[in-house]
Structures are given as structure tokens and as C-alpha cells.
Amino acid sequence: MNSKSKVILITASLILILTFFFPLWSIDLEAPQYPEGIGLRIWINQITGLKPNDLNNINGLNHYIGMKEIVPDAIPELKIMPYIIIFMIIFGLVSALAGKRFLVYAWIALFIILAAIGLYDFYMWEYDYGHNLNPHAAIKIHGMVYQPPLIGSKMLLNFNAISLPNISFYILFFTVVLAVIALILDRRTNK
């Protein structure tokens, strides 16, 4: 593998460190009573509010419709994901230094599989929160579920929920793109 591709792969691995500093996904809620905005930020290792206290306030609102409280400490994915990222950084660096194309293929494949699992898991998490409602909730609307969309927006009673990837997701995406570019450049020089 040529040195240019190696440098690109090392870069692609190291920029993953940035995912510790930016949210992965955002869920914003729009309602007339919240002109200042209210929302959630899902990170690889935590869930925070768009503003301080937003998480608590969303939990407070959710209790009316019987949604479970979101307790970040009780979500195992947030404990596992940082290790997966660290593993992928090391994997990427090793494949760059070893210079083996098959390792890079494997790295990309693993990335895509993990991303698919991650999105499925996220969907199921949303499904669980949106469907498993407390039967004693104050507000019960027959047939109504409160699952936010995976991507896009959806009206949930008075709230418009907007779910979108955030910076860290784009970083993951960019890492894969860089890895593919490294492979293409390497193939060209081999020809």
C-alpha cells in the first residue's frame, strides 16, 4: 500500500477521536410553548439536553403520556459505544501501518455492519420508548404511539419531533469515505 493511502487511513482513524466531543444524533422538539427550543443530543457515551435541564424537562413532559424516564446511566449502549470507537481507531491504525488492503476492506465492512446494527438498535430503543407506555398515564389517546422518527420529523401531539444525524455521525461517514479513497488511490498506483 502506498504511503499516501497510509496517511489517509491514519487520518481517517484519528478523526474518530472527535466523536467523543460531538453528539451523534439530535432529537429536537418544537411546540408553541417552547419558543426557546427543547431537545436531546445523543452522544456515543451520553444523552444530554439541547440546553441544561432539557433532559429532565422532557422526562417531565413525557410522564403525562406515560413514557419511561430516559436515564442515560441505564442505557448499556452508551457504555459499549466508546469501546467500539476505540477498537475501530486501533483497527484502522493497524490496517494502515500493516498496509494490507484486505484489512482495510474488513475495517470498512465492519464499520457498515456496526452502523447498521447501531441504527437498528436506535430504532428499537425509540420503538420501546414510544410504545411501552404506563397504563396509568394521565393522557391516554387510543392507538397513539410516541415513537420519534429515525430520520425526519413527525407530529407527536403538540410536539413536532425532528430527528437528525449530528456531527459525530458525519465524522463516522467521512471516515468511511476516506478509507474508500485510500483504497482507490492505492489501486491506481498499483496499476
Partner 1 sequence: MYRKYLNMFSIAVAIIATVVIIHNGCQQSKDLVSGDVAEKVYVKPGTYDDFYLFTSGGFSGQVGVYGLPSGRLFRVIPVFSQDPEKAWGYSEESKPMFMTSYGFVPWDDAHHPKLSQTDGIADGRWLFINGNNTPRIARVDLATFRTAEIIEIPNSGGNHGSPFLTENTEYVVASTRFSVPIPNKDVPLNSYKENFKGTISFIKVAKEGAMNVEFQILVPGFNYDLAHGGKGPSHGWAFFTSYNTEQANTLLEVNASQNDKDFIAAVNWKKAEEYVKQGKYKTFSANYFRNYFDEKKHMAFSEKKSDVKILIPSECPGLIYYLPTPKSPHGVDVDPTGEYIAAGGKLAAIIPVHSFSKMMKAIENKEFDGDVDGIPILKYESVMAGEVINPGLGPLHTEFDDAGYGYTSSFISSEIVKWKIGTWEVVDRIPTYYSIGHLCIPGGDTKKPWGKYVIALNKITKDRYLPTGPELTQSAQLFDISGEKMKLLLDFPTIGEPHYAQAIPSDIVMKNSRKIFPIEENANPYSIKAEKDARVVRNGNVVHVYMSTIRTHFAPDNIEGIRVGDEVYFHVTNLEQDWDIPHGFAVKGANNSELLIMPGSTETLKWLPAQEGVYPFYCTDFCSALHQEMQGYIRVSPKGSNVELAWHTGK
Binding of partner 1 by 57 (CB under 8 A)? yes
Stretch that binds partner 1, among 52-60, 118-126, 147-155, 172-180 (CB under 8 A): 52-60
Binding of partner 1 by 155 (CB under 8 A)? no
The nearer residue to partner 1, 55 or 88, going by C-beta atoms, is 55
Handedness of CA 89, 8, 110, 176 (dihedral sign): positive
* Nearest approach, Cβ of residue 68 and partner 1 (Å): 17
Torsion of CA 175, 51, 119, 168, to 10 degrees: 0
Strand partners, 29: 38, 161
> Could you tell me how many residues of this chain bind partner 1 (CB under 8 A)?
9
Applying CB under 8 A, among 73, 76, 102, 138 the residue interacting with partner 1 is 138
Cα–Cα distance list, 51 to 23, 41, 54, 79, 129 (Å): 13, 10, 5, 23, 22
Binding of partner 1 by 134 (CB under 8 A)? no
Pairwise CA distance, residues 183 & 86, whole Å: 22
- Binding site residues, partner 1, CB under 8 A: 36, 52-53, 56-57, 60, 64, 138-139
